[in-house]
Amino acid sequence: MGPRPGLVSFVGLGPGDTKLWAERASQRLGEADAVIDDEQASVARMVELARQGKRVVRTVAGDPLESARCVAEALQVASAGVEIELVPAVGASAAAGAFAGVVARAVLTPASEVATALAGAAHDAPVTLVTSPSLPSQRVQVTTAAAAPKLARSLGSARVLVAFGVPDDALRWFERRPLFGKRVLVTRARDQAGRAAALLRDEGADVVVVPTIEIRPPSDPARLTRALGDLRAGAYGWVAFTSANGVEQTWKALVASGGDARAFGSAKLAAIGPATAQALEGHGLQADLVAKEFRGERLAEQMLAAFHGAPSPPRVLVARAAKAREVLPEALRGAGCSVDVVAAYETQAPPRETVDALAREIEQGRLDAATFTSSSTIDNFCDLLGPRSIELLSRVRVAAIGPVTRDTALARGVRVDVVAREYTVPGLVQALAQSYR
């Protein structure tokens, strides 16, 4: 095979939100040897790299064919004998209609070139300027063609979407989302923050993920390994999971020891809530009991009710965090059950520099709300920030996933503004959104 041929892809990135990128745009960016934007754009450089067999991506805000500069560059690169590609995207006119309610022609242009974009327009013609289109920081300004260039330069944005016309208020759905423009802190472990972040963005939030906990294997994995060996031998009648983390970390340990779903045999499975039950389903396991209220007390009550009528209390394995409330194992032992509590995982604090950066964000007024999805997230936040934690959290709206997390916050002196009625991540997001409506 000969050397890989070079390619220059002119890739449209749409109005701003990365979720609006075309699949090919994401693919080309992932394959790129060099990514060049407006400031770096040089036809000679693109041609040179392509002739070296490089895959070059020239990114363009909006759609490539809406940019006269981009079209000119593409023609020059092609005339140099280099293969080119145009990857289309959501264009300015479509973005203006979809995100700002302006049903009119639009262009996405550098702020300094708004006057050029409006050349020939009547001085008093209505014009709408949109900065950060499709993002939570979007701003819509209605002005005239004469005043637009000066206003555009004052908005502090490198690029401005210029629409010829005014918004139709009935179509301005984007800015009506309850968390639009709000910067919301997610404190979950990074590998779990994705769903919370996605749900918050759906409500319009600008999400800041700063985990106050990191999930790690237990410091003494031998106890979990022994318990899993007993499980495979049929020693347990029930296995109780009090979090999705417990499920995932137990499964990892099980697979590492050569086991699979068959290890659970005839043991019944109890889950503290639907998220935990869903984690079990992800590994082909069906929960026999799911607590109707996502608290240890309620899970204990339902498990004891399920044991009623059995010849003898069963032996129960509780797989959980190293530090957790004792209400479940104590209730089971009180009913005569033999209970083995094993740490499936531990939580650790994030690096100091991460904590200091978070404190600065709050001190500078750059966060509107903070979400806490467990007692450990609030405990770690307070431990990490020390005496400053109460004052810092007084500056934002604090949302807790349920009464246990709320009570932990109150015990630490933290005011709680929002408590989810359904103790799940979707429930927490819904409660926070409702508080802003």
Q: How confident is the model at residue 193 (pLDDT cuts 50, 70, 90)?
A: confident
Does the pLDDT of residue 177 top 60, yes or no? yes
Structure tokens belonging to residue 266:
């005839």
Task: Convert the pLDDT of each residue in 112-149 to its tens digit.
Answer: 999 999 999 999 999 999 999 888 989 999 999 999 99
Domains of the chain: residue spans and CATH: 7-87 (3.40.1010.10), 93-172 (3.30.1490), 183-213+349-436 (3.40.50.10090), 216-348 (3.40.50.10090)
Banded pLDDT at 4 (limits 50, 70, 90): low
Q: What is the mean pLDDT of residues 283-299?
A: 86
The span from the first CA to the last CA of the chain, in angstroms, equals 62
Query: At CA 176, angle to CA 171 and CA 182, rounded to 5?
Result: 145
Tell me the β-bridge partners of 130. Answer: 140, 161
* Cβ neighbours for 195, distance < 8 A, ≥ 6 positions apart: 425
The residue-averaged pLDDT of 189-206 equals: 86
Segment 291-298 shows an average pLDDT of 79
Cα 165 to Cα 163: distance, rounded to the nearest angstrom:
6
DSSP secondary structure, 99-138, as one string:
HH---S-EEEEEGGGHHHHTTT--TT-EEEEEESTTSTT-
* Confidence (pLDDT) at 172: 83
Q: In what order do the strands lie in the sheet with 369-372?
A: 206-209, 183-186, 369-372, 397-400, 418-419
Average pLDDT of the segment spanning 246-251: 93
pLDDT of 3 reads 53
